[in-house]
Chain A
């Protein structure tokens, strides 16, 4: 272990016991500072992770005095992909149409170009090549799944639903958060009031937000009933419509998490230096040019990290669909976490762990793409 700050330990002034102890303690400081965290994470993250992997490869049975795990290999995963849970997890695949082929073809060509450019231009390294091949196949498979479940008779599985929640949700949260942040950093009287108000949704427990939105979206007793009636939608219940229910959940999610984007972007906007903007204004730049050339590059690294944080958190969504729609209609609004939870409740613990592991693969896949994107764009973030 090398000390970054003073590579050579300061010689003790006197050789008394006290100073010897303090020198030793100082030399151990590096370990003392980091070991508790490393141990805590090993104890409660790595160990359960490996144990969970084993559970996902086993069949769980209640036995006298506890439980019994029987190793069954990949049976639980097989069930998810081609077995009884297939339509639940991946969705119901529609027949291919010209449209699906066109969309899929465009994505595949784009991915092939991306791979070919790397092979032709850059210095090819083993890890980089493996990463890019994995990325190509992963994105290709996900596109195949999405184009066949989104249209004409297909039905989204829990994997696709989770992706919809994550990406549509984050898109709106970021756009809204950025616009509101840009507005509140202006020197307006009362901006502190708005800031406090805008923070509130984040503070509410997701379960509470879910019940609150269930009240608000009630078409016969909720506050918007007159509007529903005026639009002739009295008998329409969004809960019975798959996309209606998903939209309601997305609205609640955006309502709750826009504040997080907002507050971090406010911090980023306020910490950017004023001088370049002043200089640009003197040179006659309009506000769009200032945003495009000065503000946007300045907040890009923060935005990337922020979206990465939200990406990681958003994949875990469970409270909102669980409470607002109970996963319905059918399984239309179930997220992967909820899927795992339902399997757990049915005491199919092995399948539950397998779903959880698939969720982990998805999160890791997208997080890795994002981390690499950040590393390319900025010098160093993580």
Chain B
């Protein structure tokens, strides 16, 4: 009787413990899968089958139909779907890759180099940005305002800026970069909208990609910084003695060792950009609309078109799920946030 409660080794639960674990895991798996199951069967329903009350099992409760799938993929909405799907397919991976490239280099730099920016220089810079914004909004042409502020910045930097002895360290820079993630998108979207409008970049890939890259850079730096600091420095020192340049060291030693971290981070950022709604709503109107906007558009004047929505949501999640299943083993190896100290 006792052996039912005894575990053979650490991490291997006793038979009773295993049974209880399976029970809890099973319940949670059901809670995860049931909404998805409902999504799948709703995508095979027609409007009357949704309106007349809950039907649970296809072929038993109701006769499944492919109407919604046809409508989305080959019917009236197919052009919109294909265009928005390819928009998402272009925007999300591109911005995730660019953010990863920029963020990983910056994270490496923050781990292995030492920076000491002067407080005075930073304060004068912020002052000059404020100066240019105020002058532009007072009606001065932006070219002149920018030129004047740049000139003022360099003059002040050479004179007053040098008097400040206090300097910031790497941790302050990292904290500043990561704290950019605290900015709620809604707080910055208005100026960004006006900026892209002025540059005639609204409703273009460039605008979306630039915005997504900057909004996700902090998260890349956060995750990659912790990962890179676990890579032993000795390898890099050896390579440096052998005469390899810093770029070479980064490219052929650090990056290959950081692959699990890179993969996990890429997956996170991809998920964020793939699913982003608020910024896309502001920055795209027709040409570069992404899929989340198509889903919301199904909430038409006739009420929500549940069956169409379900199809669109499924189309949207299938690629991410496939990628997640392929990369699953990298994720747990690649996430070391907060794991390293010192």
Contact = CB atoms under 8 A, between A and B. Distances in A.
| Secondary structure type dominating chain A contacts | helix
A188 B190 contact: no
A26 B246 contact: yes
Given A183-B21, A195-B328, A4 B112 contact: yes
B217 A1 contact: no
A341 B115 contact: no
A12 to B, nearest CB: 10
Interface in A17-65: 22, 25-26, 29-30, 32-34, 36-38, 40-41, 43-52, 54-55, 58
Contacts of A50: 126, 129-130, 133
A42 B21 CA distance: 49
Given A180-B28, A349-B190, A367 B179 contact: yes
Contacts of A183: 21, 24-25
Interface in B278-323: 278, 291-292, 295-296, 299, 304, 306, 309, 312-313, 316-317, 320-321
A313 B268 CA distance: 13
Interface string A248-272: 0000000100000001101110110
Contacts of B187: 48-49, 52, 340, 353, 356-357, 359-360
B137 A54 contact: yes
Instruction: Place the interface of chain B in its size category.
Output: 35 or more
A47 B191 contact: yes
Contacts of B233: 5
Interface stretch (A104-112, A131-139, A219-227): A219-227
Contact of A271 (B182, B296, B325, B339): B339
Contacts of A195: 328, 332
Interface string B227-246: 00000010011001001011
Contacts of A37: 102-103, 105-106, 177, 217, 221
Contacts of A222: 54
B58 interface: no
A344 B188 CA distance: 13
B10 A278 contact: yes
Contacts of A184: 25
Contacts of B115: 1, 30, 34
A144 to B, nearest CB: 24
A215 to B, nearest CB: 6
Contact of A364 (B39, B178, B182, B331): B182
B79 interface: no
A168 B180 CA distance: 24
B336 interface: yes
Instruction: Place the interface of chain A in its size category.
Output: 35 or more
A75 interface: no
Contacts of B106: 33-34, 36-38
A199 B321 CA distance: 9
A30 B249 CA distance: 13
Nearest to B39: A212
Given A40-B214, A184-B25, A203 B182 contact: no
Given A186-B13, A187-B11, A381-B338, A40 B292 contact: no
Given A46-B129, A196-B328, 18 more contacts: A6-B240, A26-B247, A29-B246, A29-B247, A30-B113, A44-B210, A45-B188, A49-B188, A186-B13, A188-B18, A188-B25, A197-B33, A215-B42, A215-B306, A221-B53, A264-B335, A264-B337, A312-B182
Interface of B: 10-13, 17-18, 21-22, 24-25, 28-29, 31-36, 38-39, 42, 50-54, 56, 102-103, 105-106, 108-110, 112-116, 126, 129-130, 133-134, 137, 171, 173-175, 177-192, 194-195, 210-211, 213-215, 217-219, 221-222, 233, 236-237, 240, 243, 245-247, 250, 271, 274-275, 277-278, 291-292, 295-296, 299, 304, 306, 309, 312-313, 316-317, 320-321, 324-325, 328, 331-339, 341-342
7 contacts: A40-B213, A41-B217, A55-B191, A203-B320, A205-B316, A316-B186, A340-B184
The 3 closest A-B pairs by CB, nearest first: A305-B338, A33-B109, A356-B187
